[in-house]
Chain A
Amino acid sequence: MIYLYSFLFAGLLCLIGQIILDNTKLTPGHITSLFVILGSFLDVFSIYDKIVRYVGGGALVPITSFGHLLTHGAMMKANSYGFIGIAMGMFDFTASGITSAIFFAFIFSLFFKPHD
């Protein structure tokens, strides 16, 4: 059942993004930024945690999960270190994704030429 929810949730987010892309003048950059802000907003009242519990991997794959994890890491550290913890814990959960994305991008760009 969690597979069906994964399919529907990830598909629905992409559908909303595609409808915005086709019917407005916004670029993909605008849309991904909007979705990141949406994800970090949904973490304020712990809504996204509930979504992840029900939907599983389908909620972790879209870019909204990136914003959610940024806020989530910030709040985890803020609990134990106070206000300064927001800056300390910001990348706690997203560091692995950002680091590997940058590293793979650099390594592959060394070996491959542009395909135009």
Chain B
Amino acid sequence: MEKKLYEKIVMNHKPKEHRIKNAFVAFIIGGIVGLIGQGLLDLYTYYLNISTNDAAVFMIITLIFIASLFTALGFFDKMVNFARCGLIIPITGFAHSLTSAAIEFKREGYVTGLGANIFKLAGTVILYGIVSAYIFGIIRYFIMGGA
């Protein structure tokens, strides 16, 4: 009886602690990615002497390049498993899903495998991004009369 009670208490407490730890890790890692983004933004505007908008494009491409390279080298999967949403919500998650799908399905051929499945995970972001942007664009265009 006591053992059952003990197990029940353990079951009640175990996932909760994990959830708090996961949320904390996601917050810290996600914040660090945001810091890196702002740091790169300042670096590019200062050294390349370009506008903030251009530097933002450079910064996004740099992050995508790093995430793709680390995924291809094999250790980004472990980082994603550790940080979860801390690396999935930033643009690194988009690059990671594309590269990991491309590498995983390469063995089924370049057209039927890689070509057909590269958007298997990232396609949902593009699809719902376009559909929602179209609908919200129409709403804004007709109700508010453009930007």
Residues of A within 8 A of B (CB): 2-3, 6-15, 17-19, 21-23, 28-29, 31-33, 35-37, 40-41, 43-44, 46, 56-58, 60-63, 65-67, 70-71, 74-76, 78-79, 83, 86-87, 90, 96-98, 100-102, 104-106, 108-109, 111-115
Contacts and interface: CB of A to CB of B under 8 A. Distances in A.
Given A31-B89, A35-B89, A6 B34 contact: yes
A61 B91 contact: yes
Given A58-B38, A61-B33, A97 B137 contact: no
B31 A14 contact: yes
A112 B37 CA distance: 27
A63 B104 CA distance: 23
Nearest to A64: B89
Contacts, number: 250
A46 B137 CA distance: 12
A71 B60 CA distance: 18
Interface residues on B, range: 35 or more
Nearest to B98: A105
B108 to A, nearest CB: 11
Contacts of B138: 86
B58 to A, nearest CB: 9
Contacts of A7: 31-32, 34-35
A58 B63 CA distance: 13
A109 B85 CA distance: 24
B140 A75 contact: yes
A105 to B, nearest CB: 4
A65 to B, nearest CB: 8
A33 B34 contact: no
Q: Which 5 A-B pairs have the closest CB atoms?
A: A10-B34, A14-B30, A11-B31, A57-B38, A58-B34
A62 B34 contact: yes
9 contacts: A14-B90, A18-B23, A36-B128, A57-B39, A57-B40, A60-B37, A76-B147, A97-B60, A108-B102
A22 B15 CA distance: 9
Contacts of B98: 101-102, 105
B51 to A, nearest CB: 14
Contact of A15 (B27, B39, B68): B27
Given A61-B34, A61-B37, A100 B91 contact: no
A66 B72 contact: no
A71 B141 CA distance: 11
